[in-house]
Amino acid sequence: MIEDKSQERTPLSDLGEFALIDHLTKSLKIKHKSTIKGIGDDAAVIECKTKQIVITTDLLVEGVHFDLSYMPLKHLGYKAVIVNLSDVYAMNATATQITVSIAVSNRFPLEALEELYAGIETAANIYNVDVVGGDTTSSTSGLLISVTAIGEVNKEDVVYRNGAKPNDLLVVTGDLGAAYLGLQVLEREKEVFKVNPKNQPDLDQYSYIIERQLKPEARKDIVKLLKELEVKPTAMIDISDGLSSEIMHLCKQSKLGCDLYENKIPLDPQVISTCEEFKIDSTTIALNGGEDYELLMTIAQEDYPKIKANPNLTVIGYMTEENSGMHLVTRAETKIPITAQGWNALNDQE
């Protein structure tokens, strides 16, 4: 939250558009043989190793999706890549390439874009994807990042949202609600900082939930794990808008209902303790928080033995017939309908 005012500031206008792109992308390395041509032509050229490719895109907008007063630019670059890779993994595919477009106002110096690109490059290296193209332009206000991710997948391995069957198990990876709660802590500290800029917050007890907000990871490991376990989910989606919203997508597209068990929803101890501190219900946070970038999938009952011992996968319910509806079975064993109160970027602007 504290800016180093002494850092160098090179105006973007000192470089031309082409020189800027060259400068920012010069350290990027091509890692995939299937990337025939990366940055530097009218378009990138990619060889199709598998018969099918997947493609997905997401926009991150300053003031809507991120707040630079607590989001370091390097983390932002990293996160912009992750949120797209998460969608690729949700198709049970391997991410291979990304394009990155940035619109940036002149209030950002070159050094800020270097930070942003350092985060993009770090994510590309860790997740083994090539940055093959993009566009860098000015904006009249603020920063906007548009990433498109490409992945490869064998035809028989693609997992859609609409393949779930009645009695399939509803399975989630990792734990939920932490990223949203991390955001609440950061928002609170920002308000404190406004009142007393000299106050240095002690955020140790929130380290996990803040990291989940500022530096989320995508579940590349799960695609690999599922292959090793020889489990192909019947349906899959990534959790970006909150568990309840994603469950509703799976149910609607598969034309099913579901029973979700409150006491099965995986929560980190830091989520539970912070919810207590904030006096909010942890189930509400897990259901509606969003930005978890975990995977939600449905798995056939016969595959249960293959997944039951795995610490990465938690069974949280099962699918039912459509006319049974979508329900949360509470700890008190009452059934309440699931409704989407997920994060909505458009309403947030009200």
Number of neighbouring beta carbons within 10 Å of residue 249: 17
For a copy of itself, the binding residue among 24, 28, 82, 88 (CB under 8 A) is 88
Q: Which residue, 158 or 329, has its beta carbon nearer to a copy of itself? A: 158
| Total of residues contacting a copy of itself (CB under 8 A) | 78
Chain residues 276-335 in contact with a copy of itself, contact rule CB under 8 A: none
Q: Which residue, 34 or 282, has its beta carbon nearer to a copy of itself? A: 34
**H-helix or E-strand spanning residue 335:** strand 335-337
Residue 10 engages a copy of itself in binding (rule: CB under 8 A): no
Residue 136 engages a copy of itself in binding (rule: CB under 8 A): yes
Chain residues 24-83 in contact with a copy of itself, contact rule CB under 8 A: 36-37, 40-48, 50-59, 61-65
The Cα 151–Cα 88 span in angstroms is: 6
92: left (phi over 0), alpha (psi -120 to 50) or beta: left
Q: Which residue, 142 or 201, has its beta carbon nearer to a copy of itself? A: 142
Residue 156 engages a copy of itself in binding (rule: CB under 8 A): no
The Cα 102–Cα 81 span in angstroms is: 12
Residue 99 engages a copy of itself in binding (rule: CB under 8 A): yes
Q: Which residue, 161 or 210, has its beta carbon nearer to a copy of itself? A: 161
Q: Give the CA distances from residue 256 to residues 77, 262, 289, in Å, rounded to whole numbers and listed in that order.
A: 37, 19, 23
Q: Which residue, 42 or 302, has its beta carbon nearer to a copy of itself? A: 42
DSSP state of 234: S
Chain residues 224-243 in contact with a copy of itself, contact rule CB under 8 A: 236-238
Q: What token pair was written down for 215? A: 């530096």
CB of 277 to a copy of itself, least distance (A): 30
DSSP state of 251: H
CB of 18 to a copy of itself, least distance (A): 8
Q: Which residue, 150 or 243, has its beta carbon nearer to a copy of itself? A: 150
The Cα 187–Cα 340 span in angstroms is: 23
Contact 122, 74 (CB under 8 A): yes
**Cα–Cα–Cα angle for 296, 301, 304, nearest 5°?**
75
